[in-house]
Amino acid sequence: MMLKYSGSEKGLRLNPKGVEHYSQLLKETSIQIKPESDCDPTQVVFSIAERSELLDSPIVVNIAIKEDLIKDIPGNCLSLAILIKESSSRSCEIAYQAELKNAAEGAQSITLDETLFANFSYGSSIFIDVILYDKSPEYGYRVQALKRFSLSFASIAGLWSIEAVDPQYFINRGGGTNTMFITEMEFDGEEDLTMLPAIEVVKVCVNKNCVIEFGRLTNRLDTSGDVLRRFFVHSIILKISQQLLKVCNTYPRQADDGSVAAKLLDILSVNSEAEYDSLQEEVRRDPERLSLRIQNKLQLTSSIAKYTGTR
């Protein structure tokens, strides 16, 4: 039973998400971006710093199917498929598909060859969808379970490191036990911002009392998790941008790839000396102009507009 996939969900009938097996059948399935990575089924959002990071080693999908829930699907032979899809272009590759005789047969590790990602533009997120589906005379292909992993390819990825710290860390800096995070930058001057890898310069310290819960919240695939993640990122980028404009009085023309300056110029859509000078003047007149530009880059309005919850 081979799935014919044309780059969108057209032709696939999705079972209601209220059905338990839809979200639970593949709950323990995980992916490994690097061979040394942990198999964490709760992590579904991954930040990839550079395109080469993905192409250097293949991704492994660790399939785990909850056998006790198979019985909830009446009399149909299930098939397994892994789809790789780019968010912006909707380009899609069928990485794997096979019929399954039972849940045990589905428990396997599947390597995604790096060539499957070669034709993507890397201008937006790439989704890895693990799907269990069947086919019926009445409905055609029906998705019985879906788990989506999101790979973020953007200037934001690789811009900072995260460290969990004790509440006292924030108290020592004028905050309190309920301070959630602080963005810190360690550099000696303009050269560090234009030459060193950004992740060596920028560190985000998160309160140990909530770091695990915050990770779970921002890894959610619903609108609330997405919006929370974007506001968190906005706050960090705003602080880094303010420092860049303060330290680099002139356009950092020689910024190395991966540096704070190179990544921030891309995020702020600054491509010339004239644009840099103009932004500095705008921010001098109204500091909030910087926030406006970052909000637009992060598409905050579009993200919130996806909310479909109750009033």
Reported as a pLDDT band with limits 50, 70 and 90, residue 211 is confident
pLDDT for 135? 78
Share of the chain above pLDDT 70, in %: 79
CA 48 to chain centroid: 8
For residue 221, CA distances in Å to 120, 194, 297 come to 22, 34, 20
Give the Cα separation of 15 and 50 in Å (integer): 36
Residue 279 has pLDDT above 90, yes or no: yes
Which residues neighbour 83 within 8 Å (Cβ) at sequence distance 6 or greater?
A: 5, 92, 93, 94, 95, 127, 128, 129, 131
Collapsing DSSP states into helix, strand and coil, what is residue 259?
strand
Reported as a pLDDT band with limits 50, 70 and 90, residue 1 is very low
Q: What is the pLDDT of residues 61-84, one digit of tens each?
A: 999 988 777 766 665 578 899 999
Residue 285 has pLDDT above 50, yes or no: yes
Comparing 259 with 34, the larger pLDDT belongs to 259
Q: Both tokens of residue 100?
A: 């399954």
Residue 7 has pLDDT above 50, yes or no: no
Q: Are 147 and 130 in contact (CB under 8 A)?
A: yes
**Dihedral of the alpha carbons of 116, 120, 125, 129, in degrees to the nearest 10:** -30
Residues linked to residue 81 through DSSP beta bridges, in sequence order: 97, 131
pLDDT for 202? 92
The predicted model gives 32-36 an average pLDDT of: 84
Reported as a pLDDT band with limits 50, 70 and 90, residue 5 is very low
Q: Both tokens of residue 207?
A: 């309160």
Residues linked to residue 133 through DSSP beta bridges, in sequence order: 79, 143
pLDDT for 275? 96
Comparing 209 with 114, the larger pLDDT belongs to 209
Residue 18 has pLDDT above 60, yes or no: no
Reported as a pLDDT band with limits 50, 70 and 90, residue 96 is very high
For residue 252, CA distances in Å to 190, 239, 289, 291 come to 9, 18, 20, 21
Share of the chain above pLDDT 90, in %: 37
pLDDT for 99? 87
pLDDT for 113? 86
The predicted model gives 121-133 an average pLDDT of: 78
The predicted model gives 28-32 an average pLDDT of: 92
Of 95-104, 106-115, 212-221, 240-249, where does mean pLDDT reach its minimum? 212-221
The predicted model gives 195-222 an average pLDDT of: 84
In the chain the domains, ranked by start, together with CATH numbers, are 12-153 (2.60.40), 161-305 (no CATH)
Average pLDDT, the chain: 82
Q: What is the pLDDT of residues 129-174, one digit of tens each?
A: 999 888 777 767 788 888 988 887 655 667 887 888 999 999 999 9
Comparing 17 with 195, the larger pLDDT belongs to 195
